[in-house]
């Protein structure tokens, strides 16, 4: 300390203190950022614990046909719901278990709506989706629409146990032997036709719905379907 009462630092000491302060700032800043207090993050859904997906902006109208796929309900109903779906998709299972029963009770069973299932297996993330789609089409070929819906429900009831062996076993439980059909992928072209039509209709993920040419994406609640259906019935 000088006689004037000021602090005098040597150049080498000043350099040391500056370095120390810089390191302290970097450490504190790193802790702050790591804690998440200074950033806004996005949560990536792995599919193990599904939540409602964020629906992209939809066009007001799209075109999709029922093709020759299985129909549930009155074939002359005023409103048609076409679902493009994936048997291994957790969101599709959620729609099947939570929303479809309400639609069936209020609209399908009363003859106001017919429901059509078409395949859109996301093979890159769901390896059993394609075999499951082929299997249900094999059952439909053998037993018609009624058999198809039994197999469709059986698969979603047991989604966590999907395997080729189980697909064959479930088909036998409802009265059909699809071993050869599944092994030879006999109905693969039917599934691929659905996939092509799905993409043409604007499908980007599953489940995806076309309600009288009105698109609806994701595992939406019953109220979302009700709004569109009631407008079409008015």
Q: Can you give the pLDDT at residue 63?
A: 85
Which tokens in the block code for residue 176? 């059909």
- Looking at 49-128, list the stretches that DSSP marks H as alpha helix, in order from N- to C-terminal side: 90-94, 100-103
CA atoms of 5 and 26, how far apart (whole Å): 33
| Contact criterion met (CB below 8 Å) for 85 and 92 | yes
Q: Can you give the pLDDT at residue 104?
A: 98
pTM summary value: 0.75
Q: What kind of architecture, by CATH, is found in domain 71-233?
A: 3-Layer(aba) Sandwich (3.40)
Which tokens in the block code for residue 193? 């036709």
* More reliable by pLDDT, 28 or 164: 164
Delimit the domains of the chain by residue range. Answer: 7-41, 71-233
Which tokens in the block code for residue 232? 């079409």
For residue 18, pLDDT over 60 is answered with: no
| Contact criterion met (CB below 8 Å) for 85 and 117 | yes
Q: Can you give the pLDDT at residue 1?
A: 44
Residue 161 gets which letter from DSSP?
Answer: G
For residue range 63-95, what is the model confidence (pLDDT) as tens digits?
899 999 999 999 999 999 999 999 999 999 999
Determine what percent of the chain is predicted with pLDDT higher than 90: 73
Q: Can you give the pLDDT at residue 115?
A: 98
Q: Can you give the pLDDT at residue 60?
A: 73
For residue 28, pLDDT over 80 is answered with: no
DSSP string, 166-205: HHHHHHHHTT---HHHHHTTTTHHHHHHHHHHHHHTT--S
For residue range 115-161, what is the model confidence (pLDDT) as tens digits?
999 999 999 999 999 999 999 999 999 999 999 999 999 999 999 99
Q: What is the pLDDT of the chain when averaged over all its residues?
A: 82
For residue 192, pLDDT over 60 is answered with: yes
Q: Can you give the pLDDT at residue 35?
A: 35
If we measure between CA atoms, which residue out of 217, 227, 226, 232 comes closest to residue 91? 217
Triad 174, 175, 179: Cα angle to 5°: 100
If we measure between CA atoms, which residue out of 89, 101, 178 comes closest to residue 139? 178
For residue range 195-222, what is the model confidence (pLDDT) as tens digits?
999 999 999 899 999 999 999 999 999 9
């Amino acid at each position: 300390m000088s006689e004037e009462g000021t602090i005098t630092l040597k150049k080498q000491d000043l350099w040391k203190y500056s370095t120390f302060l810089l390191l302290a700032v970097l450490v504190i800043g790193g802790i702050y950022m790591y804690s998440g207090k200074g950033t806004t993050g996005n949560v990536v859904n792995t599919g193990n614990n599904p939540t409602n997906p964020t629906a992209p902006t939809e066009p007001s109208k799209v075109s999709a046909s029922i093709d020759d796929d299985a129909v549930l309900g009155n074939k002359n109903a005023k409103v048609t719901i076409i679902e493009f779906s994936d048997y291994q998709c957790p969101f599709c299972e959620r729609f099947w278990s939570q929303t479809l029963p309400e639609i069936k009770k209020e609209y399908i069973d009363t003859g106001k709506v017919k429901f059509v299932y078409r395949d859109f297996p996301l093979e890159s993330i769901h390896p059993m989706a394609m075999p499951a789609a082929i299997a249900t089409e094999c059952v439909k070929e053998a037993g018609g629409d009624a058999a198809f819906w039994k197999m469709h429900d059986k698969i979603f009831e047991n989604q966590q146990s999907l395997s080729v062996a189980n697909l064959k076993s479930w088909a036998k439980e409802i009265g059909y032997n699809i071993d050869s059909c599944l092994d030879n992928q006999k109905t693969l072209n039917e599934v691929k036709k659905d996939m092509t039509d799905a993409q043409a209709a604007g499908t980007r993920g599953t489940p995806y719905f076309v309600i009288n040419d009105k698109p609806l994406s994701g595992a939406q609640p019953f109220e979302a379907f009700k709004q569109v259906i009631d407008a079409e019935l008015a």
